[in-house]
Structure 1
Amino acid sequence: MMVLCLVGEQPIPNLLPVRFLKPQETLLVHTNLQASQQSARRLAGLIENARLFSIGDGYRIPGIVEKLRQAVGKQDEVVINLTGGTKPMALAAFELARQRRFPVVYYQTEGPRGRDQKSLIYLYRFTDEGELCLESEYPQSVPPLITLDDYLKAHLDNYQVKGPSQDSGGELERAIARVLGEYVDESLQGVVPGGVKDQAEIDLLIRCGNHVGVLEIKTGGSGSGKKAVDQLTTIAAREYLGTYAARFLVTQTSMEDRYKPLAQALRVTVIELREYRPGRDLSQNDKVRLLQGIAQSIPIRQEGV
């Protein structure tokens, strides 16, 4: 079986369905845009037996249909993933699927967040009469199929893990990581994307199942306001970590009210640990605030939350 993937800027909607379906071959269809080419190249490094295929212009539907037909050739066991790429690419791929009666899949990226968040995949088949029907056992929940290393390599050419900060903020970072270690599947401290030197650093990166969270951790002062929001939205921007990473600003002091609407508009969850004291573990109240804040956006383990 071959899975045909439409590659745009975001790699995760292609990586997860391929790992779920386990095809013998994966065709990564990209455009002549740099973001699409980079995403396809990075995906090829994470998927076995992947082949790159360029359609050039990703907006001319008749031309895309013809190029996809050429790429598939005479193969009859093909599944088309409609989740990624441009909308014209998806329309062209659907037309090819309709003509050849290929099944199509869609990875659901929308829906409830937090504890109820799931990775769902839908598989549809054409009947002999040409009617498109959802397979009876679908949608299916996608089990954990990626690591933080996979996620980072899907979005970045390289990265380094430096560990907690060496200044006073490192104590708070370690205290937060100790608490979350019991509730998440994986975490990394002090992640630096390649090529940015000291301009951007992720204080704490966490994974729960297939869902990832980025934490910017501040001890207080002016750095916990708009500047912290700007730093977080820069490192968690679609160009670095894609659109699927949840954003958390964790601060030892209360954020000024005037900055909270900005944080909310930028999908940043603000968590205030007002009882924290340097050199100590988090208090029970702060632990609850931290876990409840994280659970608003990604499905952490629920025991004790």
Structure 2
Amino acid sequence: MTYQLNPETSLGIVKLKVSNIEDSIAFYERVIGLKTTRRTTVTASLSANGNDTLLELEQINTPYTGSHRGHTGLYHFALLVPSRKALGNILKHLIHSKIAIGQADHLVSEALYLSDPDHNGIEIYRDRPRSEWNYDQNDQVRMASDPIDWEGILAEAEQVPFQGLDEGTVMGHIHLHVSDLDKAYLYYCKLLGFSLESDWSANGALFVGAGRYHHHIGLNIWNGRGGKPLPEHATGIDYYTIRLANPDELATVVERLRNEGYAVQPNEAGYITKDPFGIGIQFAI
């Protein structure tokens, strides 16, 4: 029987390497509306509710200045807000702040896109109710990249000054540049136990999830097939976190990885490893 992750699987903390901690904190507080809960001279933790960390930042000394094209790594991390009103609030704030944003209606969700000072991609989105999701003849969720309903979303916004990102915001998904979709499928679906929810391989992407979520992880080859990991001193993703349902599943995933020859090391949260593309993954409960 094919191994599948518990439906309660979710994502947690994303850690980014940045070039200037002060600039990054200012951006994530003022533009995104997160709250800094802990910081040192070179690190910071940020939260939407003041308690649960969504994002960790670490300043890199003498960061790599070469091109990120042709490398594996972060495409974007995605902050999931709990309502269309919350999405309207942040959209109104971004417009008033004159921030350049992209957008897409993915049928299952409505999404905004922007980048931080180090060009790390960010998505802020809200999900439509699952009852509104549609599936094709292969039981895969239908997604698209249609224009959003700007006026409808803005009409949901509160007529008060921006108070920060909604406290119910969570890390919804992560989208990664990889070098090979077949290798990505074998690792994320066959080994880790995610299910393939939408096969966009004709367009260079796969979307995998647990519990029939439209995707916890997006995987694309848009940065080029055969890409190599960035140098350790490059800005970008250090690791992202997969939150498993219970200790038994954590132990099972660690054992499965080690049996396939992946180095998995314990850390304060649980365990940490790297996927076949050099991207760090933290496993926690």
Q: Say which one has the larger Rg.
A: 1
TM-score by length of 2: 0.22
Larger fraction in helix: 1
Larger fraction in strand: 2
